[in-house]
């Protein structure tokens, strides 16, 4: 079974950002050239800024190179191409517009009012295989209007973003290998450090936030030395925390072996780097679901593992999940049994007693908890025990037109509230609008100060001693503590994760050519 967060997809959406009067606006002088943005009310918006060289031709499956400088003023009025993704995914949110291997672009929303603002860098979801920074759901306007600079980032996806093969290792054995999407994100964060002051952003106050696959990479970035100093706060939305990653080599299955099998399926049994890079794009993205792995240089461990060895970045953290993560699929009784083993019967009985639901429904709640919600809380506990500030949440708000019969907030369902980007197919009532205002305010206050609280808002207590204290967001937003049976399930889920982490084979030294 694939790791939970690796399967994650974002919420369907078709609505474009609300229309606004747009005029040519200020320019920004970057380390590669000057860009001109667009005035949108109280903001200036810059779209389609290249943060790295196009990863095409001989640069396919290589670490990102510096962006190519330009002369004159480059228009930054439209989103850059989305990174290539397979045609088999048809949900409306994934219809991301033009696609190209030349896709390493980012977008910036900044307040026009003079000042220095906290920076929030969003890493989108989509199972590491779909999505783009320009999806309307991720429009940064509402967050930026609260007094922040918002950055959304494209990164390579699927087999273009995560690929290893012995020929590529032999080509550059001392280089950064395989996790090209994570390297793209690191390059984008480096761009922020060098350039964000030109957009009134504070390079010393950067928050990374991501949902689903993006939350998984937030956790990865918190555990890699390569990201040190590139961000100062982190938000993980529905990113689990118990996933175990394959190594690049060693053991029964590894990333290089997967790459060899794929190449052999195309008739390239003993492929050279040139032959791999000559594979047509359509063949690369076809059935191209791919995920991070431990490469020994950029990704050193599975996402949650550094929290358990006190090795994660000690930055303030918000982490949590939604009330119907089972909408993602895979959270079944069989999955819960596999995770919990002999502890499953007692925990199932406890969930029935706690919820009052029939056994089948209570078991789905248990599977959902041990797959997504409780591992996130466990990371919050560990982060707090390691001396860093942590805030946990549980999101349970559903648009008014969907509440009847809803099992809870679907995976990705918090995004429209955080960004304030209601899809056209949804209706909101005053409660929806109030939750959206609350969430956006919490997120931006956290980015500004490291503490989401303010006078007049429901108090969100920091995580301290167990059982986990968290903020329950929904019809009534208030602080809550885990029930004893959920606390036991949390401990069982993380014990299972730690067994998987320690069972992974040691990573051998890279072979020499």
Supply the residues annotated as catalytic: 212, 325, 411
- 3 state SS of 309: coil
CB atoms within 10 A of CB 118: 24
Question: In whole angstroms, how far apart are CA 285 and each of 6, 35, 105, 359, 468?
Answer: 17, 32, 19, 41, 41
What is the rounded radius of gyration, in angstroms, for the C-alpha atoms of the chain? 22
Q: How far apart are CA 290 and CA 154, in angstroms?
A: 16
Which of 182, 203, 183 minimizes the C-alpha distance to 194? 203
Tokens of 320: 């949590």
Q: How far apart are CA 48 and CA 512, in angstroms?
A: 39
Q: How far is CA 24 from the centre of its chain?
A: 32
- 3 state SS of 221: helix
Tokens 């002051």 -> residue: 197
Q: Which residues have C-beta within 8 Å of that of residue 90, sequence separation ≥ 6? A: none
Which of 190, 186, 287, 182 minimizes the C-alpha distance to 245? 182
Buried b (16+ CB within 10 A) or exposed e, 129-139: bbbbbbbbbbb
Q: How far apart are CA 364 and CA 359, in angstroms?
A: 9
Q: How far apart are CA 507 and CA 253, in angstroms?
A: 12
């Amino acid at each position: 079974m694939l790791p939970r967060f690796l399967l994650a997809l974002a919420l369907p959406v078709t609505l474009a950002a609300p229309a606004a009067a747009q005029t040519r606006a200020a320019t920004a002088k970057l380390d590669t050239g000057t860009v001109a943005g667009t005035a949108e009310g109280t903001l200036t918006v810059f779209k389609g800024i290249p943060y790295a060289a196009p990863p095409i031709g001989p640069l396919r499956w290589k670490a990102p190179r510096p962006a190519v400088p330009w002369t004159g003023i480059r228009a930054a009025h439209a989103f850059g191409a989305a990174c290539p993704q397979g045609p088999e995914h048809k949900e409306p949110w994934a219809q991301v517009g033009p696609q190209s291997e030349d896709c390493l672009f980012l977008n910036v929303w900044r307040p026009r009012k003079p000042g220095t603002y906290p920076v929030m860098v969003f890493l989108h979801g989509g199972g590491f295989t779909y999505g783009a920074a320009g999806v309307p759901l991720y429009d940064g306007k509402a967050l930026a209007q609260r007094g922040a600079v918002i950055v959304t980032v494209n990164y390579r996806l699927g087999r273009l973003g995560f690929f290893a093969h012995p020929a590529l290792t032999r080509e550059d054995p001392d280089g950064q290998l395989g996790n090209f999407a994570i390297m793209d994100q690191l390059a984008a964060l480096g761009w922020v450090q060098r350039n964000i002051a030109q957009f009134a952003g504070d390079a010393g106050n950067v928050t990374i936030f991501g949902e689903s696959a993006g939350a998984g990479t937030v956790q990865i970035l918190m555990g890699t030395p390569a990201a040190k100093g590139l961000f100062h706060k982190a938000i993980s939305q529905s990113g689990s925390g118990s996933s175990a990653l394959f190594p690049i080599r060693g053991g029964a299955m590894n990333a290089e072996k997967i790459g060899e099998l794929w190449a052999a399926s195309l008739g390239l049994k003993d492929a050279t780097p040139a032959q791999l890079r000559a594979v047509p794009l359509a063949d690369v993205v076809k059935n191209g679901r791919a995920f991070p792995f431990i490469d020994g240089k950029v990704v050193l461990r599975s996402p949650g593992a550094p929290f358990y060895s006190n090795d994660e970045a000690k930055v303030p953290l918000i982490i949590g999940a939604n009330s119907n993560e089972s909408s993602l699929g895979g959270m079944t009784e069989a999955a819960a049994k596999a995770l919990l083993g002999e502890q499953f019967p007692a925990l199932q009985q406890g969930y029935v007693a706690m919820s009052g639901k029939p056994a089948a429904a209570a078991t789905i709640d248990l599977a959902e908890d041990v797959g997504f919600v409780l591992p996130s809380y466990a990371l919050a506990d560990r982060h707090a025990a390691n001396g860093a500030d942590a805030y946990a949440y549980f999101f349970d708000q559903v648009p008014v037109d969907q509440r009847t019969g809803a099992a809870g907030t679907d995976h990705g369902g918090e995004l429209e509230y955080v960004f304030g980007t209601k899809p056209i197919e949804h209706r909101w009532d005053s409660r929806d609008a109030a939750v959206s205002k609350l969430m956006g305010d919490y997120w931006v206050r956290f980015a500004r100060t490291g503490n989401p609280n303010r006078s007049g808002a429901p108090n969100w207590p920091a995580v301290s001693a167990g059982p986990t204290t968290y903020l329950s967001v929904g019809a009534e937003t208030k602080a809550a503590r885990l029930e004893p049976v959920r606390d036991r399930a949390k401990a069982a889920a993380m014990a299972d994760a730690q067994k998987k982490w320690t069972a992974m084979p040691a990573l051998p030294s890279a072979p020499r050519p």
